[in-house]
Structures are given as C-alpha cells and as structure tokens.
Amino acid sequence: MSTECDAFVADARHPESLRALAARGDIRRYRKGTILIQEGDVGETLFIVIEGRVKVYCVDANDKEITFGVFGAAEYFGEMALDGGPRSASVITLEPTVCAVVHRRALSEFIAERPEFCFELLSKVIQRLRLATRDARNLAFIDVYGRITRLLNDMATVQPDGRRMVMERITHQEIASRAGCSREMVSRILKDLVSGGYIAVCDRHIALLARLPPRW
C-alpha cells in the first residue's frame, strides 16, 4: 500500500469496514481536472477517496451542468454501476486526489467474507437516492433564491468563533451547477445578500452574518 493508504487504513475516524475495503484496492493518484468516470460508460470499479475531492455531475446536450455532490476523504462512489449497467453520472477531480480503486471481483470477495457490509452499501445508496429525490423536489417546487440559500445553509459550518462559514472555496458557477440555475442569477443574488448585510465574501469563502431571509 501507499503511504496515503497506510495512513487512511490506520485512521480510526473512518469506518473500519471502509478502511479494510480500501486496503484491497489499487491506489491511484490523479491530477486536478481528471475525469474518473464518464456518464454512460460501463462500470466495473468502486472508488474510495483517500485524499482530495471529486465532483459528481451531468452535462446536457447544451453543455448545461448540474452537480449532484462533492465528495472528500472516506467517501466512495461508483457503486451504482456495479450491477453491470452504465454509469449514471460523470466524476471529475477538483484537486489532486488519491483513490483506492476496488474492482467488482475484490468487492464480491469482501462482501462474501463480511456480509454486513451489504447493509452499509445499501444504506449509502438509499441516502443518495433520498438526496436525489430532495434535489428533484427542490428544482420543481422551490425558486432559484430558495435553492441558493438552502445550499448555503447546508454547506455552512459553525467555526470556533461562532460564525457560520462556507469553508469550501466555491465559485459562482459551482453554486449555479449545484442549485440548477445560471451563474448570472447566482451573482445577482449574492450581490444583493452582501449589500443587505446577510453575507460577506472573502477569498471565495462565504460567511453567513445573519439568518437568510426566506424570500427576496
């Protein structure tokens, strides 16, 4: 195993079963901007993120992109295609990333030895299905402002000084892709929120200074 994987396997903060599965994978390093999965391809592998971050997304015929999620260390992806079907989305690295790539046969052997992992895998699939259902509902029933503010609230974490911050350095285009709207709309809404004293933006970090209004 690599040094990164050794550290991951030894880190008790990660689920023991995931650490054991990662130890059976092939360790691969990828540069920023590397496409790991292409939508429509047939999948034979599951990826476990050891270091770095990846984005799961789809692009339509007009090059409009929608983001389904951003995954970091101790997350895995690619499980949806292990039934032999085509990949349902594309995945790209957002920064230099290290993954343990587990092939179908190794995963099958792991599950045969540790059948309880099936429940963990099923739980992850159900969780992501619920998120996909929520996102579809949001697109249908919540306006653009509501989707953007919900995204900011979901991403914000409380810092030691008590402030709520979106620590991920996220661009207007990335917010647009996740909220299902245009970059221009994101820019306009964020500018209004800054002017109203609700948020502050510094070096692409967003601080939530006050409770965001339910409507604008």
Q: Do the beta carbons of residue 79 and residue 49 sit within 8 Å? A: no
pLDDT, one tens digit per residue, over 50-97 is: 999 999 999 887 788 888 989 999 999 998 767 778 898 999 999 999
177 and 188, same domain (yes or no): yes
22 and 96, same domain (yes or no): yes
183 and 117, same domain (yes or no): no
Q: Do the beta carbons of residue 120 and residue 17 sit within 8 Å? A: yes
* Residue 213 belongs to a domain: no
Give the domain extent around 200.
143-208
1 pLDDT band (50/70/90 cuts)? low
* Residue 214 belongs to a domain: no
Q: Do the beta carbons of residue 20 and residue 64 sit within 8 Å? A: no
Here the CATH number for the domain that contains residue 121 is 2.60.120.10
- At residue 51, the pLDDT reads 95
Confidence check: pLDDT of 167 > 80:
yes
Here the CATH number for the domain that contains residue 188 is 1.10.10.10
Confidence check: pLDDT of 204 > 90:
no
152 and 75, same domain (yes or no): no
Mean pLDDT, the chain, rounded, equals: 90
Number of domains in the chain: 2
84 and 171, same domain (yes or no): no
154 and 125, same domain (yes or no): no
* Residue 65 belongs to a domain: yes
> Of 171, 216, 172, which Cα lies nearest the Cα of 195?
216
Q: Do the beta carbons of residue 99 and residue 71 sit within 8 Å? A: no
Burial 89-113 (b: 16+ CB within 10 A, else e): bbbbbbeebbbbbbeeebbeebeee
Of the candidate ranges 42-56, 135-149, 158-172, the one whose mean pLDDT is the lowest:
135-149
Comparison of pLDDT for 128 and 189, the residue scoring more: 189
130 and 156, same domain (yes or no): no
- At residue 47, the pLDDT reads 97
- At residue 5, the pLDDT reads 82
